[in-house]
Amino acid sequence: MRPGNNGLFIPGPTNLPAALRVAMDLPLEDQRAPDFPDFTLRLFDDLKRVFRLDRGQVFVFPGSGTGGWEAAVTNTLSPGDTVLASDIGYFSHRWIDLCRRHGLNVDVIDVEWGEGVPVEQYAARLSADTNHAIKAVLVCHNETATGVTSDVAAVRRALDDADHPALLMVDAVSSLASIDFRMSEWEVDLAVSGSQKGFMLPTGLAIVAASEKALAASRSAACPRCFFDFAAMHAANREGYFPYTPATTLLRGLRASIDMLFAEGLEAVFARHGRLAEGVRKAVDSWGLKLCAKEPKWYSDTVSAIRVPESFNGNDVVNVAYARYNLSLGIGLGRVAGQVFRIGHLGWLNELMLLQAIAGAEMAMRDLGISVAAGSGVAAAEEHFRMTAGPVSLPTPENIQKN
CB atoms within 10 A of CB 259: 14
Does residue 301 belong to the site contacting ligand PLP (CB under 6 A)? Answer: no
Report the site for ligand PLP in 2-31 (rule: CB under 6 A): 12
C-beta atoms surrounding 163 within 10 Å = 10
Query: What is the rounded CA–CA span in Å between residue 243 and residue 40?
Result: 13
CB contact at 8 A, 213 and 165:
no
Nearer to ligand PLP, 143 or 316 (CB): 143
The candidate with the shortest Cα–Cα distance to 136, out of 184, 84, 181, 185, is: 84
> Is there binding between residue 198 and ligand PLP (CB under 6 A)?
no
DSSP-assigned beta bridge partners for residue 86:
109
- Nearest distance from C-beta of residue 195 to ligand PLP, angstroms: 8
Q: How far apart are CB 144 and ligand PLP at their closest, in Å?
A: 3
Binding mask 47-76 for ligand PLP (x = CB under 6 A): -----------------xxx----------
What is the DSSP pairing of strand 142-143 with strand 148-149?
Answer: antiparallel
Contact flag: residue 330 with ligand PLP (CB under 6 A): no
How many residues touch ligand PLP (CB under 6 A)? 12
Indicate the residue among 91 and 287 with the shorter CB distance to ligand PLP: 91
Our finding on whether 171 is near ligand PLP (CB under 6 A) is yes
Residue 194 in contact with ligand PLP, rule: CB under 6 A: yes
Instruction: Provide the terminal-to-terminal Cα distance of the chain, rounded to the nearest Å.
Output: 43
Beta-carbon neighbour count of residue 300 at 10 Å? 31
**Of the residues 173, 247, 260, 336, which one makes contact with ligand PLP according to CB under 6 A:** 173
**Between 139 and 168, how does the x/- string for binding to ligand PLP read (CB under 6 A)?**
-x-x-x------------------------
Instruction: Give ∠ CA 124-171-175 in degrees, rounded to 5.
Output: 115
Would you count residue 91 as binding ligand PLP (CB under 6 A)? yes
CB of 269 to ligand PLP, least distance (A): 17
As measured in angstroms, the least distance from the Cβ of 11 to ligand PLP is 6
Instruction: Indicate whether 127 belongs to the interface with ligand PLP (CB under 6 A).
Output: no
Smallest separation, CB 92 to ligand PLP (Å): 8
Cα separation, 378 vs 29, whole angstroms: 46
CA–CA gap between residue 265 and residue 211 (Å, rounded) = 24
Amino acid identity at 382: E
* Euclidean distance between CA atoms 280 and 301, whole angstroms: 10
In the complex, which residues of this chain contact ligand PLP (CB under 6 A)? Answer: 12, 64-66, 91, 140, 142, 144, 171, 173-174, 194
